[in-house]
Amino acid sequence: MEKVTWRKDEKEIYPLKKTPSIITLPAQNFITITGEGDPNGPEFAAKIQALYPISYAIRMAPKKGIEFPGAFDYTVYPLEGFWSLAEGHREGPLNKNFLQYKIMIKQPSFVDQTVFEQALTMVQEKTAPELLNQLKFETITEGSVAMILHVGSFDDEPASFAKLADFITAAGYQRTSMNHKEIYLSDFRKVPEAKRKTILRVGITKQ
């Protein structure tokens, strides 16, 4: 089987153009971890570090003689995250200390709870126990969503959200909540702010 590459094979789910788009997403499998607080702090960074070892352990398992049923060659998916604000802090200027998040990495179709549990044992020496215990395997159905590619600093996202809002209204939809998802096409730990690419995604319904 040819290698599955999300940038090439899932362009509708991960659009690489600045033109807004609408899609109804299928159920997708993720390894997730939740938290709250300023994402510039050490706790958020640690939670990201917990997601990558297990995702790469699954990807590299065949090279260690481990064959998961139905496994195929693929590119590890990008980091994603649902973002919201704690109750009572959703009005006024953004205070990042009250952000709530669920960050995740999508998994290919052959990954299930059994594969996830086996992979946990494979990364015990690479991941702190307190973080390992917070990892979960989840199937998430986002349904109908609208999204736009944002290029630049995270602090400049409001301009892209404004464009997305205009697009949603013109298409006859409305947002289902003020929560949103971000998909990090660039490694924000390494890529300069001006060049960072992030897909901004929101749930929608017909007006």
pLDDT exceeds 90 at position 105: yes
Question: Does one domain contain both 110 and 196?
Answer: no
- The encoded tokens of residue 69 equal 């049923």
Confidence of residue 30 (pLDDT cuts 50, 70, 90): very high
Question: Does one domain contain both 5 and 65?
Answer: no
Question: Does one domain contain both 123 and 40?
Answer: yes
Kindly state the percentage of the chain with pLDDT values over 70.
Answer: 99
Confidence of residue 92 (pLDDT cuts 50, 70, 90): confident
Q: In the listed set 102, 119, 140, which residue is the last one of a domain according to the structure?
A: 140
Q: What mean pLDDT value characterizes the chain?
A: 94
Confidence of residue 2 (pLDDT cuts 50, 70, 90): confident
Question: Does one domain contain both 89 and 128?
Answer: yes
The per-residue pLDDT for 119 is: 97
When divided into structural domains, the chain yields a total of: 2
Q: What share of the chain is helix, strand, coil (3-state, %, to 5)?
A: 30, 30, 40
The per-residue pLDDT for 188 is: 80
> Which of the two residues, 163 and 85, has the higher pLDDT score?
163
Question: Does one domain contain both 161 and 203?
Answer: yes
The per-residue pLDDT for 13 is: 96
Cβ(202)–Cβ(83) under 8 Å? no
Q: In the listed set 107, 140, 173, which residue is the last one of a domain according to the structure?
A: 140
Cβ(56)–Cβ(126) under 8 Å? no
Confidence of residue 207 (pLDDT cuts 50, 70, 90): confident
The per-residue pLDDT for 123 is: 96
Query: Domain range holding 12?
Result: 1-26+143-207
Write the pLDDT tens digit of every residue in 185-200. Answer: 998 878 888 899 999 9
Q: In the listed set 81, 106, 140, which residue is the last one of a domain according to the structure?
A: 140
The per-residue pLDDT for 1 is: 61
Q: Residue 34: which CATH number?
A: 3.20.80.10
Question: Does one domain contain both 161 and 82?
Answer: no
Rounded to two decimals, the pTM is 0.94
Question: Does one domain contain both 94 and 192?
Answer: no
Helices and strands (H and E) in the chain: how many? 5, 9
Start-to-end C-alpha separation, the chain: 43
Write the pLDDT tens digit of every residue in 107-117. Answer: 999 999 999 99
The per-residue pLDDT for 184 is: 96
Question: Does one domain contain both 69 and 87?
Answer: yes
Question: Does one domain contain both 133 and 110?
Answer: yes
Question: Does one domain contain both 2 and 45?
Answer: no
Question: Does one domain contain both 127 and 69?
Answer: yes
Question: Does one domain contain both 151 and 128?
Answer: no
